[in-house]
Amino acid sequence: MSTINVRRKTLVTVAADPNSSAVTFTSKTADLSSIYGNHCFNEAVQHQRLPEKVFESLQETIRSSKQLDPGIAETVAKVMLDWAIEHGATHFTHWFQPMTGSTAEKHDCFVMPVNGGKSIARFSGSELIRGEPDASSFPSGGIRATFEARGYTAWDPSSPAFILRHKNGSTLVIPTIFVSWTGEALDMRTPLLRSMAALEKHALKVLKLFDNKKSTRVFSTVGAEQEYFLIDRRLAALRPDLLVTGRTLFGAKPPKGQELEDNYFGSIPERVIGFMTELEYELVLLGIPVRTRHNEVAPAQFELAPFFEPANLASDHQMLIMQLLRTIATRHGFHCLLHEKPFAGINGSGKHNNWSMMTDDGENLLEPGDTPHENAQFLFFATAVLRAVHLHGDLLRMGVSGASNDHRLGANEAPPAIMSIFLGGALEEVFQQLAQGAATSSKKLSPIEIGVSSLPPISRHSADRNRTSPFAFTGNKFEFRAVGASQNIARSTTILNMIVAESLDYMAEKLEQALKTGKEFNIAVHEIVSDTIRKHNAVIYNGNCYTEDWKAEAKKRALPNLVTTVDCLPLINAEESIKLYEKYNVFSKSEADSRHEIYSENYIKTISIEASSAIEVAGTMILPAALNYKTTLIKAATTALQKGLLNELDASIDALIGQLKTLKEAITKIPEGEVINAAEYCCYKILPTMQLLRETVDKLEELVDDELWPLPTYTELLFSR
Ligand code: ADP
Ligand code: MG
């Protein structure tokens, strides 16, 4: 039988010239530091171009996280306009992070008609400060009824404007918050900024108690490592499931996956390094400090990590990194996958959120210091994090939930859904000694007395790194590994900031009280730290978090195990959560309710779309291929064994038809009304039905003539470069 198998033809093209659809990119300079931030209206540009007074006022606005003084807005806008035009910009846009998971922009041209058929380039102070996008089409979870579809965007001067280039021009981009007219957050950035303010307030309170007279500000800092897959675009185009849902809904296990462990840190393929070079060039222009690139564990999987920055900037930059990963991948003939689990059976992609706190005079509050005093302060902050994760591990877990990350968390290659802390050898020892009080059983160390003895050296790259822990101390920061590759880090950072703020608040108050009763400072700190560790060390776990043993042990320790998003959704607006949000001014009740609605709907929609895509692919691509092969087999089968093959095929085809019918029916029956019912239905009914269908399709992949198989296989997707 002769068929024109598009898949096979495409494979031949890809193999003959893997770069045929790629552009060549020649970097204009090898000295990336010479172009760093050239497309960013950063402090250097501001200083150079703005009148001295205006520059100082703007800097003061940034330093104090205030609103821009309308008196200087006009001047800033004019200077920004000239700068943008010099960089080829024709339009400007307010750029924000609505609750869609991505960013939003609406461009306005600088051209302004004036009398006499002429026009001028114009960008006013009020256009810089505030915009009013039609908010009705963004998710608001009921906060803003459509008839009063009003929200506005406002420039956040702590995040500098930048130039975004495309093939035929450029746009001036103003990073903004997005809120309703009644001031409720409709975006990811507003709560992040609020949580940073809460953390700052309570961290400063602690610093004051430690007699710090230098620091006036504290920022949470974030460095997010991004994992991603690159697949040849020509092959991805033949996988509607991949294009629509970001993951493969079908695909038999390939003969070779990652078992040889030959990919991690392996040499980077030619086309990929070409892509990375252009990506990094563009990121550096934007002032995004990219630093590390390497092959990841799975075939076709890679990682990029920037230097850490203040959390709000890091989160903006992270959104831009994801955007540029996608667009620049396309230029190089790749399809970039940011989904947490694009391929079953091999590693998924995470986004490790490296988190710490830093003062404006450059002190990392999670850096063990050189003096006993510094160490006492370090232990106080580290203990506050321990307490926060123990008390609010459920919220942390909630902050990384979502339909796509569910496939990864707990899938035995990613951190589990149980939140625990790994401290690493040296710090672990210190904590255990403190928990036991001065009477130490340790042979290696003399008893720790806070404020008197100094800590043993705590290695930043100790050999006993525990990759299975969701939350690990890595020398001078914590690494939260449960964050998903596609997620906006603002969400998990907001929760982290808030729960640590709460801990610092609580512990600072204890310290204040103790001091009031006349207790000596070092003794008071020692008691609070030891006491806190004793109460919360159930959250410390150094073993392998992938095991069943740990699940049982965690249960004994009463650590929550929120397996799926459905388990997390009620927490978003649970009474206890709202109390915490309100106390630290991170979300109001109505904002929490709206987010509950938005995340629930997102979950339901994601799974419904996946189910529809599965039906489409299985019904219109797989079933015809299988039937086609059956006709061949009927003609060919003469012996009993051959007929056995036919029977096996028949059984799978029947199973496929039956499962398709069940799935089709199932998606018509998603309950209306309370979103939680629909979410539960998607989780416990639709997903398992899709899984059964997948097993049948994957079996057929092994039965049907390769010449007839329409979908590029796992081997082809993962190993064609
Ligand atoms: P590794 O994960 O291999 O240990 P690094 O320690 O170099 O790698 O850091 C990983 C990420 O952590 C990088 O993005 C880095 O900038 C970030 N990081 C380092 N120090 C801090 C800090 N104080 N706060 C937040 N992130 C940090
Ligand atoms: Mg790391």
- Give the Å distance between the CA of 224 and the centre of ligand 2: 9
- Give the Å distance between the CA of 584 and the centre of ligand 2: 30
- Give the Å distance between the CA of 319 and the centre of ligand 1: 18
Of 65-74, 84-93, 241-250, 467-476, minimum mean pLDDT range: 65-74
Which residue has better confidence, 453 or 709? 709
- Give the Å distance between the CA of 218 and the centre of ligand 1: 18
**Rounded to whole angstroms, how far apart are CA atoms 357 and 215?**
12
For the chain, give every residue range classified as CATH 3.10.20.70: 31-187
- Quick count: other Cβ atoms within 10 Å of Cβ 570? 15
Residue to substitute in 462, 477, 497 for testing ligand 1 pocket (most ligand atoms within 8 angstroms of CB): 477
Does 442 have pLDDT greater than 50? no
* Nearest-10 Cα torsion for 425, 429, 431, 437: 180
pLDDT at 597: 94
- Give the Å distance between the CA of 302 and the centre of ligand 2: 13
Mean pLDDT calculated for residue range 329-357: 95
Mean pLDDT calculated for residue range 493-508: 98
Each residue's pLDDT tens digit, 73-91: 999 999 999 999 999 999 9
Of 83-97, 103-117, 148-162, minimum mean pLDDT range: 148-162
End-to-end CA distance of the chain: 30
Does 183 have pLDDT greater than 90? no
From the alpha carbon of 308, which atom of ligand 1 is closest?
A: 16
- Quick count: other Cβ atoms within 10 Å of Cβ 394? 19
The CB-side HSE value for 123 (13 A sphere, CA atoms) comes to 28
Does 423 have pLDDT greater than 60? yes
134: tokens are 């039609």
pLDDT confidence bin for 29, thresholds 50/70/90: confident
Does 463 have pLDDT greater than 50? no
From the alpha carbon of 223, which atom of ligand 1 is closest?
A: 14
**Rounded to whole angstroms, how far apart are CA atoms 695 and 705?**
18
Distances (CA, A) of 437 to 374, 448, 540: 20, 8, 17
pLDDT at 148: 55
Ligand 1 contact, 404 CB (< 6 A): no
From the alpha carbon of 356, which atom of ligand 1 is closest?
A: 24
Each residue's pLDDT tens digit, 277-332: 999 999 999 999 998 888 888 889 999 999 999 999 999 999 999 999 999 999 99
Mean pLDDT calculated for residue range 427-444: 70
- Minimum CA distance residue for ligand 1 atom 19: 308
**Rounded to whole angstroms, how far apart are CA atoms 203 and 506?**
11
- Give the Å distance between the CA of 225 and the centre of ligand 1: 8
Does 444 have pLDDT greater than 60? no
- Give the Å distance between the CA of 492 and the centre of ligand 1: 17
User: Model's pTM, two decimal places?
Assistant: 0.94
Residues with Cβ within 8 Å of 58's Cβ and at least 6 positions away in sequence, in order, are 46, 50, 68, 72, 76, 157
- Name the CATH code of domain 31-187 (choices 2.60.40.10, 2.160.10.10, 3.20.20.70, 3.10.20.70): 3.10.20.70
- Minimum CA distance residue for ligand 1 atom 6: 474
Contact 436, 529 (CB under 8 A): no
pLDDT confidence bin for 144, thresholds 50/70/90: low
pLDDT at 149: 56
- Give the Å distance between the CA of 308 and the centre of ligand 1: 6
pLDDT at 2: 44
Q: State which amino acid sits at residue 18.
A: P
- Give the Å distance between the CA of 467 and the centre of ligand 2: 9
pLDDT confidence bin for 1, thresholds 50/70/90: very low
pLDDT at 610: 98
pLDDT at 464: 53
pLDDT at 254: 87
**Rounded to whole angstroms, how far apart are CA atoms 247 and 346?**
12
**Rounded to whole angstroms, how far apart are CA atoms 284 and 476?**
26
Distances (CA, A) of 521 to 126, 171, 206, 514, 527: 51, 55, 13, 8, 10
Burial of 87 (0-12, 13-18, 19+ CB in 10 A): middle
pLDDT at 282: 95
Q: What is the three-class DSSP state of 205?
A: helix
Ligand 1 contact, 355 CB (< 6 A): yes
Mean pLDDT calculated for residue range 429-454: 69
**Rounded to whole angstroms, how far apart are CA atoms 209 and 434?**
21
pLDDT at 21: 57
* Nearest-10 Cα torsion for 203, 205, 206, 210: 130
**Rounded to whole angstroms, how far apart are CA atoms 305 and 353?**
10
Ligand 1 contact, 305 CB (< 6 A): yes
From the alpha carbon of 307, which atom of ligand 1 is closest?
A: 16
Question: Where are the strands (E) in 477-529, listed by range?
Answer: 478-480
From the alpha carbon of 354, which atom of ligand 1 is closest?
A: 26
pLDDT at 533: 95
pLDDT at 37: 94
Residues with Cβ within 8 Å of 688's Cβ and at least 6 positions away in sequence, in order, are none
SS3 per residue for 534-578: HHHHHHECCCCCCCHHHHHHHHHCCCCECCCHHHHHHHHCCHHHH
Each residue's pLDDT tens digit, 2-11: 456 889 999 9
pLDDT at 459: 65
Most confident listed range (59-73, 107-121, 608-622): 608-622
Ligand 1 contact, 459 CB (< 6 A): no
Contact 614, 694 (CB under 8 A): yes
Ligand 1 contact, 159 CB (< 6 A): no
Q: What are phi and psi of 155, to 5 degrees?
A: -60, 135
The DSSP line for 596-652 is: HHHHHHHHHHHHHHHHHHHHHHIIIIIHHHHHHHHHHHHHH--SHHHHHHHHHHHHH
Each residue's pLDDT tens digit, 532-564: 999 999 999 988 898 889 999 999 999 999 999
Each residue's pLDDT tens digit, 572-624: 999 999 999 999 999 999 999 999 999 999 999 999 999 999 999 999 999 99
pLDDT confidence bin for 224, thresholds 50/70/90: very high
From the alpha carbon of 461, which atom of ligand 1 is closest?
A: 4
Ligand 1 contact, 356 CB (< 6 A): yes
Percent of the chain with pLDDT over 70: 94
- Give the Å distance between the CA of 353 and the centre of ligand 2: 9
Ligand 1 contact, 226 CB (< 6 A): no
pLDDT at 147: 45
Question: Where are the strands (E) in 62-138, listed by range?
Answer: 89-96, 104-109, 111-114, 118-121, 130-131
